[in-house]
Amino acid sequence: MQFSRRQFLIRGAGAGLSVALAPSLLAACGGSGAKGLDLNTVSLVQRFPKEVLTPGRIRLPISLGNAEGVISTQSGVKIPESLRFVVSDLDGNALFEDDLIVWAHITDVPQPYWPLVVELNEPGTYIISLLGADAAGAAFQVTPASEVSIPTVGLPLPAIDTPTTKNARGVNPVCTHKPDPCPLHDVNLRDALTMGKPVVYLLGTPAYCQTGTCTPALDALLSAHKSFGDQAIFIHAEVYTDNTATVSAPAVTDHKMSFEPALFITDATGKLMERLDAIFDSSEVLDALSRNGIS
């Protein structure tokens, strides 16, 4: 379906900020009976963390929300297979000549999302708008890498100690994957970064993941590890120290993370080549591995 281009209204630097991802919204669903989705009734829900986007290739996963919360596959509406977006500066100038068509990711996530990917090389505030919708766009910030505390693409992944089956480093359980702990806890991240191979490192908790994507992401890594585990070192680290899910594990605090899950992919020298943030499914994991020569 073709959408006409609509100009959106900017009401200052804070305009168009998305719906917050509160747990109550994450669990929300709509009515029964599939029906067409009226884009004029939706808002953009940012599924990416704030203040960690740096210049370069930027991934901006977006979900849709309405008065009942984040739209899910159980909301009783027909999920669009694709959406068209425009990314603009604060003056309303589109930064790309063509509309950005993004396909929906639906199969193994509780709420559908559309992972918009753009190349933005200058820090600043930008706006995503949805074509066919009257709602204001969603603002996001691109921050200089020097001002971001978590590991950033293009720099060495900081060497930290992660729990292993031989040294849990105060984390119990070491893995919450069900029905059995995953086998990606044999190598300490600090050691892995010295082994001359790419490192694929997932920080996430299958048992307590708020976005519902940790388990499919980890399952994708397990499949990749089985198929081509000799090409890279695969590591998983939990987010909490125990099953109370109240105290952050050292992997979170040492990397100064403010969100989960996150997937880090380095080259053989330990330089971080790609980072997937907050919500991603198995197809995005496998695509990211392939882009970095692991396939």
- φ and ψ of 200, to 5 deg: -115, 110
At 154 the pLDDT is 95
Q: Which domain holds residue 267?
A: 189-291
Contact (CB, 8 A) for 200 and 294: yes
At 235 the pLDDT is 97
Euclidean distance between CA atoms 118 and 87, whole angstroms: 9
276 occurs within a structural domain: yes
- Residue after which a domain boundary falls, among 83, 112, 144: 144
Same domain, 214 and 120: no
Same domain, 138 and 240: no
150 occurs within a structural domain: no
- Residue after which a domain boundary falls, among 144, 176, 197: 144
- 159-196 tens-digit pLDDT: 999 999 999 999 999 999 988 999 999 999 999 999 99
Give the three-class secondary structure for 64.
strand
Same domain, 32 and 123: yes
Q: Tokens for 163?
A: 């729990």
Euclidean distance between CA atoms 61 and 203, whole angstroms: 18
Same domain, 135 and 196: no
14 occurs within a structural domain: no
At 29 the pLDDT is 32
Same domain, 135 and 28: yes
Residue whose pair of structure tokens reads 């739209």 in the numeric block: 71
Q: How many domains does the chain have?
A: 2
227 occurs within a structural domain: yes
Q: How far is CA 20 from CA 48, 209, 295, in A?
A: 11, 17, 36
Residue 136: CATH number of its domain: 2.60.40.1930
178 occurs within a structural domain: no
C-alpha 264: how far from its chain's center?
11
Contact (CB, 8 A) for 286 and 224: yes
Burial level of 117, CB count in 10 A (0-12/13-18/19+)? exposed
Instruction: Find, among 118, 151, 114, the residue nearest to 263 by Cα.
Output: 151
At 174 the pLDDT is 95
- 59-90 tens-digit pLDDT: 999 999 888 888 888 888 889 999 999 999 99
- Residue after which a domain boundary falls, among 127, 144, 161: 144
Same domain, 139 and 196: no
- 141-152 tens-digit pLDDT: 999 999 999 999
129 occurs within a structural domain: yes
Contact (CB, 8 A) for 284 and 108: no
Euclidean distance between CA atoms 96 and 86, whole angstroms: 8
Give the three-class secondary structure for 204.
coil
Contact (CB, 8 A) for 42 and 30: no
Same domain, 124 and 29: yes
Question: Which stretches of the chain drop beneath a pLDDT of 50?
Answer: 1-33
Give the residue ranges of DSSP H helices in the chain: 23-26, 189-192, 214-228, 250-254, 282-291
Same domain, 93 and 29: yes
Same domain, 131 and 243: no
151 occurs within a structural domain: no
At 74 the pLDDT is 83
Same domain, 119 and 197: no
Same domain, 29 and 122: yes
Residue 246: CATH number of its domain: 3.40.30.10
61 occurs within a structural domain: yes
